[in-house]
Amino acid sequence: MGEWRDMTAEALEDQYSPSRWSSRLGRETIIQAHIATMAAATQRARASVQTALHVPYGDGDREKLDVYFPPDPSETFPVLVYIHGGYWQCLSKEESGFAAPPLVSQGVGVVAVGYDIAPKGHMDAMVLQVRRSIAFLVERYSRIRGVYLCGHSAGAHLAAMVLSTDWTEYGVVPDIKGAVLVSGVYDLEPLLHTYVNDELNMSREVAQRNSPMQCIAPAASVAVTCEVLVAVAQQDSPEFRRQSQEYGQALRAAGWSVSMLDLAGVDHFDIIERLSEESYILTQELVLQLQAARD
């Protein structure tokens, strides 16, 4: 713990710049390629799957959900809620439906969550929005049987914050059966010293109260049993890999059921892009978890 405090500012910037660690593409091109890949796959999903797009869960411009229904939505079905990354300052639900086709074919609903990104959105508000979206979802769609969270990068952070929610404030307790957290950030304090905070403008207090590492609820206090899968890419930076390892260990120490998955041959970007592939190991893990919800 705390090694990041000994790093130079330049080293810390490097560690929290995922585009510098991929062996596939250059730093300037990989992010644009990632956005294009996700957007194209989302368009394909919208063209092939029954959807309800832009469903408002609040009054804000981005407070909307895209719902991708399984072939027979008259039956009860588990739902995967996908929370996009983009360092809380880019991407949207418009690039977040890419994983729907292989999942809906297995009888799973997929929901892509929109939320306000920086500079309009600030960290407290983003966490609140995602929590509200989950409460709205389970109230609106009574046929949902089991909620699974999946978040990538900043989205993994937001999904982890959902796990620490006190649902008494929301008048509903979602049946969150699992969470797949992919290449996430679980301690925001190191980001205060990097370019990432230029738009977010977090104080130390904001970073601490919105750090999943700082607000892990004992598993015994959680209303439902939740399986957590913490996944990280071989080509994630050492800091991203450390954060995943330490968060997984902290959850386990608090009594949560945790699996760790270290995926070889992928970087920070294609670790999530490949969820559009039926044969991809992470897709298969999700299908297994989601099918278990129906058994």
Instruction: Return the active site residues.
Output: 153, 236, 268
Q: Which two tokens stand for residue 254?
A: 């608090």
CA end-to-end span of the chain, whole Å? 40
As a whole number of angstroms, the distance between CA 114 and CA 99 comes to 16
As a whole number of angstroms, the distance between CA 292 and CA 18 comes to 33
| Non-local CB neighbours of 63 within 8 Å, separated by 6+ positions | 56, 57, 114, 115, 116, 129, 132, 133
Q: Which two tokens stand for residue 49?
A: 């799957």
Cα distances (angstroms) measured from residue 167 to each of 98, 129, 172, 176: 29, 13, 6, 11
Q: Which two tokens stand for residue 9?
A: 């500012």
| Strands 144-152 and 109-113, bridge-based pairing | unpaired
* Sign of the dihedral through C-alpha 21, 27, 29, 35: positive
Spatial contact of 153 and 188, defined as CB atoms under 8 Å apart: no
The amino acid that residue 190 corresponds to is P
Cα 21 from chain centroid? 20
| Non-local CB neighbours of 121 within 8 Å, separated by 6+ positions | 62, 88, 115, 129
Q: Please tell me the number of Cα atoms within 13 Å of 117 on its side-chain side.
A: 16
CB atoms within 10 A of CB 175: 16
Spatial contact of 102 and 150, defined as CB atoms under 8 Å apart: no
Q: Which two tokens stand for residue 271?
A: 């670790």
